[in-house]
Amino acid sequence: MASQHQADYDVIAVGAGFAGLGLIHHMREAGLSIQVFDKASDIGGTWAWNHYPGAASDSECYYYCLTFSKEILQEWKWSVRYPGWEENLRYMHFVADKCDLWPHIQLNTEITSADFQEDRGLWLVKTGAGEEFTCKYFVSAMGMISEPVIPKFKGMENFKGTCFHSARWPEGLDYAGKRIGIIGAGSTTVQMLPVTAETAESVTVFQRTANFIMPAVQKPMTPEWDKEIKENYDDIIAKCRNHVFGMAFDSPVGRTIADTSPEEVQKVLEEHWPRGSFRFVFETFDDLLGDPESNKVAGDFVIKKMKERVNDPEIAEMLTPKGYPFFAKRPPLDHNYFEAYNRDNVKLVDINEREPIVELTETGVRTTENEYDFDIIVLATGFQAYTGAQEALPIRGRNGLLLRDKWDTVSSSIMGVFVAEFPNLFMITGPQAPFANLPTSIEQNITYIVDCVKKMESEGHDLCEPLQKAEDDWVQHVAEVHAQTLMAQGDKVHSWMMGANIEDRAPRVLIYFGGANVYYDLMRTSVDAGFPEVEFENLAS
Ligand code: NAP
């Protein structure tokens, strides 16, 4: 497409994960020029960074993928239900090769700023190497959970061993025979502990909050299962599109705990438990996330199952989540996590009540009660979800307004895609989008954004100006929905899903919980109505 604005590219995007790869395909199909930059040395996004032992997807492989190419869906073969990071990376390379995406990707390139230039209606994007590029449309494809949170422990600089965030696992690090301390007990640790414990001399987990943890139930991809999946891809894609969390699940099921006898409830929960995945939440009863009493029944069941697997009752008690409802924090899926605590070389330390961390020392971690010596300390302390990546890079909209400053107290957006005062900026799964199977949401966001850009180009507009009123309405709607959810219950919901893990910032409403399917419908309604959330404008000539 000829650029009437003398921009280097029609579209510049940051991030070469699922979002960046999908965007290249769709923008190219629409006839636009696009360049994607990523500071990583490989494509893959999450999978370019998260190389800790045990890192794997928690969505099942056959719907944790891009669906725009029927050929790729048929040709690619997964080896297991939940592929590890290496296999996810191989898949993403396969997509990039097959669709010839590489010419549009520049790796090892950190974008250091993006400024909207009011006079030209273009974005000026600068790289760490001093390069400058302009584009008409600037897209954040930086990922929802990508900016690590590094806690500020006293004495961190004193530790003489190796210390790093879990998403920066050093390539080739040999941890066999080493003493490992892991700070944090979220999804990352749940995956990392059983694998590291197999060869490390010891692994000590410092836990602040216990989680509700469900079984993943890994299994190989058999030829029969592969065939069944490939024969049913249209159904699978439709299921994801119409599911509340964007997953290929059979729900709602038309059954509630409230209307079922306690014996039957236990029978259904027992039947579904060994199937693994988040299906337990979505394919058992429909009121599990909405009715506090039903939620407690399911939560108690999860705790009972966990206790059956941990030999030491004291450790089992420490691993028992308390004070918040099931699913108010994102439940990790486990691959023998609890069994790891039955090993002699694994220790659990309660840093919430019993012995908070005082400092890191030259040799390890000092709590109020003990000193622990380590060779390696892993900060499995999570991410600044939804906003972290966009805030880490100065993005300036109208009148030089920094996105980071705009989001100081409220991380506002229109459907997680547009931000008022930031014309021609699009986010793929930005704040106040749903939390769902990411490839599903990413593809839905991409088609929405591309539809908007196509309208702009076909009608000859220069600017897509998100309306403040539409943003105010979305912020209010998202807050109202949030107030009715489990997040707003219990006094100990300390979740990254509300930004509660960011020390110097107040928690906030980060996620639209009205249902991913409802959200995808809202985007289609917006397209059909000609994008009433934005104003299309032309620059004065
Ligand atoms: P997380 O769930 O946020 O867990 C971080 C852990 O670190 C929590 O136990 C947290 O305790 C603790 N922590 C944070 N700051 C601390 C501090 N200053 N002192 C002591 N403890 C501290 O992070 P994550 O495990 O990396 O997972 C984040 C999300 O990424 C997941 O929920 C998931 O959506 C995604 N993820 C996905 C996969 C997958 O799909 N396979 C794997 C890993 C991660 P509190 O709970 O008390 O805050």
The 10s digit of each residue's pLDDT in 127-138 is: 999 999 999 999
- Expressed in angstroms and rounded, the spacing between residue 183 Cα and the centre of ligand 1 is 10
Is 215 touching ligand 1 by the criterion CB < 6 Å?
Answer: no
Reply yes or no on whether the pLDDT at 436 is more than 60.
yes
The response to whether residue 384 sits with its C-beta less than 6 Å from ligand 1 reads: no
Distances (CA, A) of 472 to 144, 256, 407, 410, 468: 22, 35, 13, 11, 6
Q: Is residue 13 within a helix (H) or strand (E), and if so which, with residue range?
A: strand 9-14
Instruction: State yes or no: pLDDT of 4 exceeds 60.
Output: no
Please give the order of strands across the beta sheet that includes 371-373: 357-360, 364-367, 371-373
Ligand 1 pocket test, candidate residues 57, 60, 64, 145, most atoms within 8 A of CB: 145
8-state DSSP, 112: E
What pLDDT is stored for residue 492 in this prediction?
61
- Mean of pLDDT values over 147-156: 96
Average of pLDDT values for 425-443? 98
Distance CA 455, CA 470 (A): 19
Q: Which atom of ligand 1 is nearest to the CA of 503?
A: 18
145 lines ligand 1 (CB under 6 A): yes
pLDDT tens, residue by residue, 89-128: 999 999 999 999 999 999 999 999 999 999 999 999 999 9
pLDDT of residue 487: 79
Q: What is the pLDDT of residue 486?
A: 84
- Please give the pLDDT value at position 237: 98
Q: Which residue has the tokens 């059954």?
A: 255
Q: How confident is the model at residue 3 (pLDDT cuts 50, 70, 90)?
A: very low
Among the listed residues 515, 475, 511, the one whose alpha carbon sits nearest the alpha carbon of residue 493: 511
Q: For position 2, what pLDDT does the model report? A: 39
Please name which of 49, 60, 51, 52 lies closest in space to residue 83, comparing C-alpha atoms: 60
What does the pLDDT look like over 478-515, one tens digit per residue?
999 999 988 787 556 788 999 999 988 899 999 999 99
CB distance 151 to ligand 1 below 6 Å: yes
Q: Whose CA is nearest to atom 11 of ligand 1?
A: 208
Measured from the Cα of 494, ligand 1's closest atom is 48
State yes or no: pLDDT of 280 exceeds 50.
yes
Task: Tell me what the mean pLDDT of segment 241-254 comes to.
Answer: 96
User: Residues of 297-324 as b/e, b for ≥16 C-beta within 10 angstroms?
Assistant: bbbebbbebbeebbeeeebbebbebeeb
Mean pLDDT over each residue of the chain, to the nearest integer: 96
Q: What's the CA gap between 111 and 107, in Å, rounded?
A: 11
> What's the rounded Cα separation, in Å, for the pair 7 and 21?
21
* C-alpha to C-alpha distance for 62 and 90, rounded to whole angstroms: 15
**Cβ-based burial of 504 (10 A; exposed 0-12, middle 13-18, buried ≥19):** exposed
Q: Which of the pair, 506 or 367, is modelled with greater confidence?
A: 367
Strands 105-106 and 425-427: unpaired
In whole angstroms, what is the distance from residue 422 CA to residue 394 CA?
13
Q: What is the whole-number distance in angstroms between the Cα of residue 187 and the centre of ligand 1?
A: 6
DSSP-H helix ranges across 30-183: 46-49, 70-75, 85-98
Residue with tokens 């060994």: 274
What are residue 422's phi and psi, to 5 degrees?
-130, 80
The answer to whether the CB of 531 falls within 8 A of the CB of 523 is: no
Closest approach atom of ligand 1 to CA 185: 9
pLDDT in tens, 513-522: 999 999 999 9
* pLDDT-derived band at 250, boundaries 50, 70, 90: very high
DSSP state of 366: E
Nearest to 354 by CA among 211, 206, 492: 206
Rounded Cα distance, 423 and 65, in Å: 30
Kindly state the average pLDDT of the residues 57-70: 98
Q: Among the atoms of ligand 1, which is closest to the Cα of residue 381?
A: 7
Distances (CA, A) of 431 to 111, 143, 256: 20, 11, 31
Both structure tokens of 487 = 């997040």
Nearest CA to ligand 1 atom 45: 209
Mean pLDDT of 436-448: 98
**461 and 492 Cβ atoms separated by less than 8 Å:** no
Question: Which residue has its alpha carbon closest to ligand 1 atom 24?
Answer: 382
**What was the pLDDT predicted at 490?**
55
Q: Which of 501, 503, 504 is the best mutation target for the ligand 1 pocket, counting ligand atoms within 8 Å of the beta carbon and taking the most?
A: 501
Contact 330, 245 (CB under 8 A): no
Q: What is the largest CA-CA distance in the chain?
A: 75
Q: Is 294 in the pocket of ligand 1 (CB under 6 A)?
A: no
353 token code pair? 């009540």
**CA separation for the pair 261, 266 (Å, rounded):** 9
Q: Which atom of ligand 1 is nearest to the CA of 56?
A: 41
The closest-lying atom of ligand 1 relative to the alpha carbon of residue 329 is 32
Kindly report the protein residue whose alpha carbon is nearest to atom 14 of ligand 1.
Answer: 381
- How many residues appear in the chain? 541
Distance from the alpha carbon of residue 539 to the mean position of ligand 1, in angstroms? 45
Count of alpha carbons within 13 Å of 454, Cβ hemisphere only?
14
The sheet that has 202-207: what strands, in order across it? 162-165, 376-379, 179-183, 202-207, 346-350
Would you say residue 151 has pLDDT above 90? yes
Q: Is 183 in the pocket of ligand 1 (CB under 6 A)?
A: yes
Task: Give bridge partners of residue 359 from the DSSP assignment.
Answer: 366
